[in-house]
Each structure stands twice: as structure tokens, then as C-alpha cells.
Amino acid sequence: MTEHDEHRQQSLTQATEARGLEALISRAARAGKGAAPVERWNPDFCGDLDMEIKADGTWFYLGTPIGRMPLVQLFSSVLRKDADGRTYLVTPVEKVGIRVADAPFIAVEMDVSGSGDEQIITFRTNVGDVVEAGPERPLRFIDENETGGLKPYVLVRGRLEALVGRPVMYELVGHGEEIEIGGKAMFAVRSKGAVFPIMPADQLKRLSV
């Protein structure tokens, strides 16, 4: 095959993928307004799409950022993470795999109301979801080995989480307090009656020295 033929074949492949994406957009748009009931749909798996959500929350298709926020919001409404650990775009008639570098969403803003057991921490994601952390949408904190820092996540829906952005994380930690959990002093935050441990209190003290 000549270089011209190879280039032509690649162009045809990209054109086919583009038409497939257009069709997927059309079906996703019909699937629902807001988050669609993807957990109830069981379509056939139709292969992988060259789409990735980067660690900063930017969506890429064919290596190019998707700059139209309404389109990103549309795709985010039909996202589903399955028990196999993979993330898919799901409509009533198809399921296609995409790549996710970290979490599919980023929590970019937070609000705190009330205090003590009545405290509620509410997050807004980069695609417009509003989530109240609590028993049904827990917060979890993992150590970031590369930097020695902390990465908080909040469950948005299904198995899909939002990574709490760094500026928001500092604000979140500012609402932490020392709470005894299982007989051990923990630095933790409260929301909707639930307590979410961040780290042992003595570890925080060592870090603060």
C-alpha cells in the first residue's frame, strides 16, 4: 500500500468514526435530559471510541479537545462505569468504551451549610452536577504517593466519582475536625450525618510540625 493509499484509508476511518460520533450524539440527545437512566439499559457492546477524559476533566475525541461544553455535558449524562472498572457511553441501543485517566468529573466548587451533625457539604462539578456528600454519596480520601498529598473523591452517581479539585480540597480540609472513629482519633469531615475520615489525627499532627 502506498503512502497516499494509507493516508486515504486513515481519512476514511476518521470519517467513519466522525459519522459514528454524530449518530451517537443524536441518540444520546434523545436518551434523556440531565442524567439518563443508564443503569436500566443493557445494550450490546459496540466497541471502543477514541475518546478520553483527561485527569484535569478535559474531554478529547480523536486526540482533539472537545471545546463545546453542551456537548461534554450531553456525553456526561450517558456515562456509566461498570463492574469491570471500565467507563462507557450508554444509550438504549449501544454501549461504547472510552478512556478515563482518573475520575470522569472534577468538583470545582463547594458550599457548606449547617454545623455539627446538621452540616451539609455540597459540590458542583465541571459539567454542572450538584452533589450533596452523605451516606448515599460518600467522600473518600486516598494518599497521592507521587506527591505525598491527598486526593479526595465524591460519588456523583452509579460508580462515577468526581475528583475534588485542589483549591476546593483545601477548602474542604478547612472544615475538618478531630473525631473519634472506632476508638481512634481521626481527622475527618461531616456531611448529612455521615463522617468521612481523612487521616489519623496523629498523622496530621506530624505533618503540621
Alpha-carbon gap, residue 20 to 185, rounded angstroms: 54
pLDDT value at position 209? Answer: 57
- Does one domain contain both 92 and 124? no
Q: Answer yes or no: do 9 and 88 share one domain.
A: yes
Number of domains in the chain: 2
3-class SS of residue 163: strand
Does residue 128 have a pLDDT over 60? Answer: yes
Among 100, 130, 150, the domain boundary falls at 100
| Whether 185 contacts 200, CB under 8 Å | yes
Q: Which domain holds residue 57?
A: 2-100
How far is it, in rounded angstroms, from Cα 40 to Cα 123?
26
Please tell me whether residues 185 and 96 are part of one structural domain: no
Phi, psi dihedrals of residue 32, rounded to the nearest 5°: 170, 160
| pLDDT confidence band for 137 (50 / 70 / 90) | very high
How is residue 36 written as a grid cell?
Answer: 439518563
Strand spans (E) along the chain: 45-53, 59-61, 64-65, 79-81, 87-91, 94-100, 105-113, 120-125, 130-132, 139-144, 149-157, 160-164, 177-181, 184-191, 194-200
User: What pLDDT, on a 0 to 100 scale, did the predictor assign at position 109?
Assistant: 94
150-191 confidence digits (pLDDT tens): 899 999 999 999 999 999 999 999 999 999 988 899 999 999
CA–CA distance, 189 with 116 (Å, rounded to integer) = 10
Give the CATH number of the domain where residue 194 resides: 2.30.270.10
Residue identified by cell 454542572 is 128
Residues 123 and 137 grouped into a single domain: yes
pLDDT digits (tens, 9 = 90+) for 109-125: 999 999 888 999 999 99
Average pLDDT, the chain: 84
16 with 55, same domain: the answer is yes
Q: Within this chain, do residues 112 and 204 fall inside the same structural domain, yes or no?
A: yes
The last residue of a domain, from among 100, 130, 163: 100
Same structural domain, 109 and 92: no
Q: Identify whether residues 110 and 85 lie together within a single domain.
A: no
| The three cell numbers locating residue 74 | 450531553
- pLDDT, position 178: 93
| One domain for residues 18 and 64 | yes
Q: Which residues make Cβ contacts (< 8 Å) with residue 197, sequence separation at least 6?
A: 141, 179, 181, 186, 187, 188
3-state secondary structure of 183: coil
Check which CATH number belongs to the domain holding 68 and give it: 3.10.540.10
If asked whether residues 136 and 200 sit together in one domain, one would say yes
Residue 112's nearest CA partner among 178, 184, 177, 163 is 177
Q: Which three cell numbers stand for residue 158?
A: 452509579
Same domain, 115 and 95: no
Tell whether 113 and 93 lie within a shared domain. Answer: no
Confidence of residue 8 (pLDDT cuts 50, 70, 90): very low
**Other Cβ atoms within 10 Å of 25 Cβ, number:** 14
**Structure-model confidence comparison of residues 65 and 149, the more confident one:** 65
Q: 80, 100, 120 — which closes off a domain?
A: 100
At residue 7, the pLDDT reads 41
